Amino acid sequence: MINLKNISFDQCIKCTICSIYCPVSRATHLFPGPKQSGPDSERLRIKDPALIDSSIKYCTNCKRCETVCPSNVKIADLIQTAKYNYLKKKIRVRDFILSRLDILIRILSPISPIANTLMRNSLVKLLLEKFLGISRRQNFPAFERSSFKNCFKRNMQEQDIYDESVIFFPGCNVNYMDKRLGKDLVKILNAMNIGVTIPDNRCCGVPAIANSNIGRAKKYARYNIRSLKKALGDRDRRIVLSCSSGTLALKHEYANFLNLDTSTLHEKIDYITPYLFNRFSEGRMPALNPVHARVAYHSPCHLERIGGVMYTIDILKRVPGLDLVILNSECCGMSGTYGFKKEYFKISEMIGSQLFKKIDDAGPEVVVTDCVTCKWQIENMTGYRVLHPINILAMSVFKYGLDEYL
């Protein structure tokens, strides 16, 4: 069966460079590398779908292969599409749960104190591993008691007093797990005289895509597209996200992978740091105060892919007094929900080991990264507290102390 959309494998000249930079095949020989799983096998899969090899399931979709490919082959997309099209569709309970984290979160959020304690209980974790295949060595993130959206409705009502406005798509992380990030972001924007609108939204669909639950991902995506279009109305304003993978999904994967029409939205969507950068360049910049802390910055794979790293670094560099260590670009190994799965946990740990060592070498007070699942992985594997660049910026704008975040 020919995928009519992505024939970029045709451009592959077999230079093999992608295989050098694949963090998965580096960690495990079970994965033969992006060249074989992507363009090489695609020709065979077109000839006969039965020739698909199950080893493609090890791909984490980090997209580093695409970043280094000199031939513009959409290698990771080829692999994800193949996973979805040809691998046996046996959605496990675990994958179902991981693909619909939003529901889990919505259920657990109201009982968060109990849930958070329970999820960290070693017996519960053992049971989860035994029956669901969720690695007991990973910690589930803690849930907030009430959602960010509620909090926003209650406390940040007056957003139309500012002379500009922007739409903020909070996503599940901000909504249920990291309210502080949402609040910091809104406050910074407000300090820049920009009002914030929060549209009605659902899960961005990234977990569903990662777990090959394409039907579900499409439902979420359609919902989000509709509600963003509605929120946008006919006003010329931009949509920002605080999550790099979410941005990748909304901006690229909805169109390229789920084949949905995002043409009216595509140009409007920004990850938060490029947005801030552009505003700063226009002179709309809040006053920054020194932050005296040693931080190590890790650039997530997906931010690398959408090209936002330069902006985040630029913004961090603007913070006076900040002792910034930029870590060599490596994959942390979590890749969404990959690291939660029992069978991949070891691989995930191996993939990240280079990064964890470098963090240790740098000896920072906190680690900074843009991606929430990188944050989970690093916190779990190294014990360092991980913050979002927006948190650091908020510390600088509002003179918050680092201890508030620890």
Q: Read off the DSSP letter of residue 341.
A: B
Q: Are 8 and 73 in contact (CB under 8 A)?
A: yes
| Nearer to another protein (CB atom), residue 191 or residue 326 | 326
Pairwise CA distance, residues 190 & 204, whole Å:
25
Helix, strand, coil percentages in the chain from 3-state DSSP, rounded to 5: 60, 10, 35
Residue with tokens 């460079």: 17
Which residue among 10, 164, 200, 261 contacts another protein (CB under 8 A)? 10
Q: Residue 208: which of 83, 337, 88 has the closest Cα?
A: 337
**236 is a contact residue toward another protein (CB under 8 A):** no
Helix (H) or strand (E) holding 366: strand 366-369
Q: Are 208 and 229 in contact (CB under 8 A)?
A: no
**259 is a contact residue toward another protein (CB under 8 A):** no
Q: How many CB atoms lie within 10 A of CB 348?
A: 28
Site for another protein in 72-131 (CB under 8 A): 72
| Nearer to another protein (CB atom), residue 13 or residue 123 | 13
> Which region, judged by CB under 8 A, interacts with another protein, from 25-33, 160-168, 220-228, 366-374?
25-33
Q: Are 18 and 69 in contact (CB under 8 A)?
A: yes
**264 is a contact residue toward another protein (CB under 8 A):** no
Q: How many CB atoms lie within 10 A of CB 177?
A: 24
Which residue among 6, 38, 55, 372 contacts another protein (CB under 8 A)? 55
> Which region, judged by CB under 8 A, interacts with another protein, from 44-52, 114-122, 208-216, 361-369?
44-52
Q: How many CB atoms lie within 10 A of CB 259?
A: 11
Least separation in angstroms between CB 1 and another protein: 8
Least separation in angstroms between CB 32 and another protein: 5
**12 is a contact residue toward another protein (CB under 8 A):** yes
**256 is a contact residue toward another protein (CB under 8 A):** no
Distances in whole angstroms, Cα of residue 38 to Cα of each of 80, 266, 312, 351? 9, 26, 31, 20
| Nearer to another protein (CB atom), residue 25 or residue 380 | 25
Pairwise CA distance, residues 300 & 332, whole Å:
8
**17 is a contact residue toward another protein (CB under 8 A):** yes
Distances in whole angstroms, Cα of residue 219 to Cα of each of 64, 100, 225? 28, 12, 10
Least separation in angstroms between CB 50 and another protein: 6
Which residue among 5, 6, 32, 291 contacts another protein (CB under 8 A)? 32
| Nearer to another protein (CB atom), residue 22 or residue 132 | 22
Instruction: Report the amino acid identity of residue 333.
Output: G
Residue 307, both tokens: 């090209």
Pairwise CA distance, residues 97 & 91, whole Å:
10
What would the 3-class secondary structure string for 19-35 be? HHHCHHHHHCCCCCCHH
Rounded to 5°, angle at Cα 209 from 351 and 374: 35
Instruction: Count the residues of the shown chain that bind another protein, applying the rule CB under 8 A.
Output: 57
Which residue among 5, 38, 62, 67 contacts another protein (CB under 8 A)? 67
**310 is a contact residue toward another protein (CB under 8 A):** yes
Which residue among 7, 142, 156, 362 contacts another protein (CB under 8 A)? 7
Least separation in angstroms between CB 157 and another protein: 32
Least separation in angstroms between CB 271 and another protein: 11
Q: Residue 374: which of 296, 320, 307 has the closest Cα?
A: 296
Distances in whole angstroms, Cα of residue 378 to Cα of each of 229, 317, 367? 35, 22, 8
Which residue among 121, 193, 264, 281 contacts another protein (CB under 8 A)? 281
Site for another protein in 324-353 (CB under 8 A): 326
| Nearer to another protein (CB atom), residue 216 or residue 238 | 238
**29 is a contact residue toward another protein (CB under 8 A):** yes
Which residue among 23, 24, 35, 60 contacts another protein (CB under 8 A)? 35
Pairwise CA distance, residues 53 & 60, whole Å:
16
**365 is a contact residue toward another protein (CB under 8 A):** no
Instruction: Report the amino acid identity of residue 114.
Output: I
Instruction: Report the amino acid identity of residue 162.
Output: Y
| Nearer to another protein (CB atom), residue 361 or residue 404 | 361
Site for another protein in 123-182 (CB under 8 A): none
> Which region, judged by CB under 8 A, interacts with another protein, from 96-104, 255-263, 270-278, 368-376?
270-278
Binding site for another protein (CB under 8 A): 2, 4, 7, 9-17, 19-21, 25-26, 29-30, 32-33, 35-36, 40-44, 46-48, 50-55, 66-72, 266-267, 274, 277-278, 281, 304-308, 310, 326
